[in-house]
């Protein structure tokens, strides 16, 4: 898994290459400056610590001063953070820091709109593994900043028996029986199903979580009624914001939405140099 520090290194190397040909030829190396990051639209902020680490990576003496905390709502025109120190470092890191902030805040803002739609319904909204390669730890953090929850982080930390696993093993019971003997008794087993018959097979096999994949609302209601709280019920597959309340009312426990990450747009913000000595 990529560490945040490694992601910052990759991003800066991608942007700067062998150096900043503009800044390095225009700005004296010892010049100090101050910049402010401004919201150009309303959004939920996420990624402030990462943005600060970008500038610190370039110059350890840079001071990054966030005005908000991740998860806060920021209005258009408000100052998000200030950054002070070596002016070259501020200019070198400007775009990379903003890229992290814009992407992660975009996800947090998208997530918050889904959370607000659900209001106080007793259902857990979760993300999926549909994330930007290399950015998963950050994007899933942004999901939490937006007020939702994470599904498994990767293939390593949760059992999810999908249709291709079922086909490879020759059926749901065979798949569940095989994995039950190979993982810890503390690990829950989730099975993806697409019909009521498969729901029955998964329950009989002892699945603790049943994912209803791409079912219509009537099928979901019927399945949830049949399961009757004997397993957790997750719904997944082309879930839109307008579906959330009807799904929550259908008796499900978890709603997973890939769009929280894969369809979130970057929000708009900019950094302005205020002073330079």
Catalytic residue among 192, 201, 234, 253: 192
How far apart are the C-alpha atoms of 217 and 91, rounded to whole Å?
52
On the CB side of 205, CA atoms within 13 Å amount to 27
CA distance 71 to 68: 8
Known active-site residue 188: no
Active site residue 78: no
Which one of the listed residues 95, 121, 180, 241 is annotated catalytic? 95
Alpha helices per DSSP H over the chain: 4-16, 23-26, 48-58, 87-118, 136-146, 163-169, 172-180, 196-205, 217-227, 244-249, 259-262
Surface-to-core class of residue 61, CB atoms within 10 Å of its CB (0-12 exposed, 13-18 middle, 19+ buried)? exposed
Instruction: Look at the chain and count its residues.
Output: 277
Q: Is 173 a catalytic residue?
A: no
The neighbouring-strand residues paired with 271 are 37
Euclidean distance between the first and the last CA atom of the chain, given in angstroms as a whole number:
41
> Is 94 annotated as catalytic?
no
13 catalytic? Reply is: no
| Of 224, 254, 277, the residue nearest 125 (C-alpha) | 254
* Catalytic-labelled residue, pool 130, 144, 200, 221: 130
The active-site residue out of 162, 180, 200, 241 is 162
What strand order describes the sheet that includes 269-276? Answer: 63-66, 79-86, 32-39, 269-276
Q: Which residues belong to the active site?
A: 95, 130, 162, 192, 213
């Amino acid at each position: 898994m990529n560490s945040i520090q490694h992601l910052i290194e990759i991003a800066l190397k991608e942007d700067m290459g062998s150096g900043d040909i503009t800044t390095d030829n225009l700005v004296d190396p010892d010049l100090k400056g101050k910049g402010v990051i401004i919201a150009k639209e309303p959004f939920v902020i996420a990624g402030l610590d990462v943005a600060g680490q970008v500038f610190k990576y370039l110059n350890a003496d840079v001071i990054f001063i966030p005005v908000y905390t991740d998860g806060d709502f920021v209005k258009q025109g408000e100052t998000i953070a200030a950054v002070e120190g070596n002016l070259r470092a501020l200019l070198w890191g400007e775009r990379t820091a903003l890229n992290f902030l814009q992407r992660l805040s975009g996800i947090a803002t998208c997530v918050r709109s889904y959370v607000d739609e659900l209001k106080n319904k007793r259902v857990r909204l979760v993300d999926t593994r549909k994330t930007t390669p290399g950015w998963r730890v950050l994007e899933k953090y942004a999901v939490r900043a937006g007020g939702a929850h994470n599904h498994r982080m990767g293939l390593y930390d949760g059992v999810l028996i999908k249709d291709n696993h079922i086909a490879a093993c020759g059926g749901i019971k065979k798949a569940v029986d095989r994995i039950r003997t190979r993982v810890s008794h503390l690990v829950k087993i989730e099975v993806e199903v697409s019909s009521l018959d498969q729901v029955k097979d998964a329950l009989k096999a002892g699945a603790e979580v049943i994912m209803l994949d791409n079912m219509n609302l009537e099928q979901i209601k019927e399945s949830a009624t049949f399961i009757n709280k004997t397993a957790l019920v997750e719904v997944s597959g082309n879930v839109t914001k307008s579906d959330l309340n009807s799904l929550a009312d259908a008796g499900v426990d978890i709603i997973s939405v890939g769009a929280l990450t894969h369809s979130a747009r970057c929000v708009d913000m900019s950094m302005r140099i205020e002073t330079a000595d």
